[in-house]
Structure 1
Amino acid sequence: MLAATLAAPSTMRNPRIYLPQPLSVESELQLNDEAANHVARVLRMKSGDPLVLFNGEGNSYQARVVNVDKRRVRVTIENLLASTADGNLKIMLGQTLSRGDRMDWAIQKATEMGVTDIQPLFSERCEVKLNAERASKRVAHWQQVAISACEQCGRNRVPRIGSPQAIENWIDDQDSDLKLVLHHRTDQALDSHRKPDSVSLLIGPEGGLTQPEIERAQAAGFQATALGPRVLRTETAPIAALSLIQYLWGDI
């Protein structure tokens, strides 16, 4: 018999936990070490407490803690929940790497704003240098930032974080309906475009994109777009742009 689909209850008393494994109604399972530690030691949940599980594939499930001990947490999945936090507009974000926690902040907020794919980029004025080992560790860290943001904001699909690549490679690879490069020296505004089904958004580094990089993007079909008269920081620009994109063509 098919289980009923329920509206998701309040996340304040019903924490959302990401669990990267198959999930199904009426099954009982053991949480992995990371999720178990969060449930048992951080949230201090006990047997009978409710929680929501999701695995990044689009669904979430109402579950309940069955047993908690020092090493293991077992839960049972009760119902499939209705999802409303993942929109239909596909947004690919090309974000040039920035120093410190600016990149973390941009990824966290972009995830909250519904972006579907985040590609870290190297550009001419990018000051961040990463070898293969450091890049792999940073991508794993950024993916966890996105997962945590999904747990908080109610999204069931986790954005993919790509391995850092050269800006020109990402530019040439985009085939979205609408391709935008933020550039404050233009008069074209976002609302001058028709509603797209997919958007690629290119954000430059702290020093901005060079003129050849902007011209390269425009030659590949990107349209220079301004967000007003002020010059925004590299971690602020994607949030402002994504907010407007979702307002114009998405679910805000």
Structure 2
Amino acid sequence: MELFYTSTQHIDLDARNLVVDGDEFHHLVRVLRKKTGEKILVTDGNGLRCEASIAEIGKTSFTADILACSRIDRPNTEVTVALSLLKAPQRFELFLEKATELGVSTIIPMLTARTLSHPSNEKVQGKLNRWRTIMLSAARQSKRHYLPQLTEPLTFKKAAALQGYDLKLIPYELSEAPPKVKCSGKKILFLIGGEGGFTANEIEEARAAGFNELSFGKTILRAETAGIFAVALVRTQLLEEERIEWF
């Protein structure tokens, strides 16, 4: 059974009902042609899982009766990727989709010294809305009970200064350090450069902020590929340790 999303504010556990609207309503009613009486699975994207039966369908939303609920534990391994905005928007969007499928916890659009795309303040909100829609679709496809967070764009300096991480890693094409890091049970932050990579000054700044360099191999990866690889690296470790509750 497919998993769908609604906000926490739209779920009333006391009244045993919930409301679905927006893109999820459109997908369920206009695309999948769901009818009253049909059962669906719904999450608030924060670990709550509800089995519900569609009760009443309106023009822009529907209500459903909650039949059963459970709470999914939050993953104890969290991966944040700060990726430079890219000149080709479809490449950044590919990263959003695949990283969400692989289990990323937070994505930070980043502006580095060599970032070629600098959207105006007026365009940022529209981009964020589009990106969240892409991530929601990917989360639905992969049946994630915890939606990844998407932040406002940050400069490299602000991203490098972020606190609260157990591991801070910066893949760098001139590094020879293999990615032999233990990720299980940790909060991890990756900084991924865009076209042209990071400058030498940025690498030094990252080192001073407590980041460790590592290599993703001798070949040079595109920025979006490196971002996807970073999340896949952690996922692989967790699968090897059978910690598949990360999803």
TM-score, L = length of structure 2: 0.87
Q: Which amino acid aligns with 1:183?
A: Y
**What is the CA RMSD across the aligned residues, in angstroms?**
2.1
Query: Which residue is 1:9 aligned to?
Result: none
Structure 2 counterparts to residues 55-66 of structure 1, below 5 A:
55-66=44-55
How has the CA–CA distance of structure 1 residues 106 and 39 changed in structure 2, closer, same or farther, with 3 Å as cutoff? Answer: same
Distance in 1 of aligned mates of 2:68 and 2:238: 32
2:4 paired residue among 17, 29, 36: 17
Once the 2 structures are TM-superposed, how far is the Cα of residue 174 of structure 1 from its aligned partner?
A: 3.2
Once the 2 structures are TM-superposed, how far is the Cα of residue 153 of structure 1 from its aligned partner?
A: 1.0
Q: Pick the structure with more helix per residue.
A: 2
TM-score, L = length of structure 1: 0.86
Query: Which residue is 1:88 aligned to?
Result: 76
The Cα offsets for residues 149-193 of structure 1, whole Å up to 9 and x where unpaired, read as: 221111111111111121111101233111100112222112255
How has the CA–CA distance of structure 1 residues 222 and 74 changed in structure 2, closer, same or farther, with 3 Å as cutoff? Answer: same
Q: Which amino acid aligns with 2:154?
A: Q
The Cα offsets for residues 57-104 of structure 1, whole Å up to 9 and x where unpaired, read as: 2111111222335555231111124647x6320212111101221111
Distance in 1 of aligned mates of 2:152 and 2:60: 34
2:85 paired residue among 84, 87, 97: 97
How has the CA–CA distance of structure 1 residues 183 and 24 changed in structure 2, closer, same or farther, with 3 Å as cutoff? Answer: same
Q: How many residue pairs were aligned? A: 238
Query: Which residue is 1:78 aligned to?
Result: 67
The Cα offsets for residues 191-215 of structure 1, whole Å up to 9 and x where unpaired, read as: 2557561111010002211111111
How has the CA–CA distance of structure 1 residues 50 and 96 changed in structure 2, closer, same or farther, with 3 Å as cutoff? Answer: same
Distance in 2 of aligned mates of 1:27 and 1:103: 40
Contact 1:18 / 1:55 at 8 angstroms: preserved in 2? yes
1:241 aligns with 2:230: yes
Query: Which residue is 2:187 aligned to?
Result: 198
> Between the two proteins, what is the percent identity of the paired residues?
27
Distance in 1 of aligned mates of 2:53 and 2:195: 46
Distance in 1 of aligned mates of 2:27 and 2:182: 44
SS, match of residue 159 in structure 2: helix
Query: Which residue is 1:107 aligned to?
Result: 96
Distance in 1 of aligned mates of 2:185 and 2:207: 18
Q: Which amino acid aligns with 1:76?
A: D
Q: Which ranges in structure 1 are unaligned for 5 or more consecutive residues?
A: 1-13
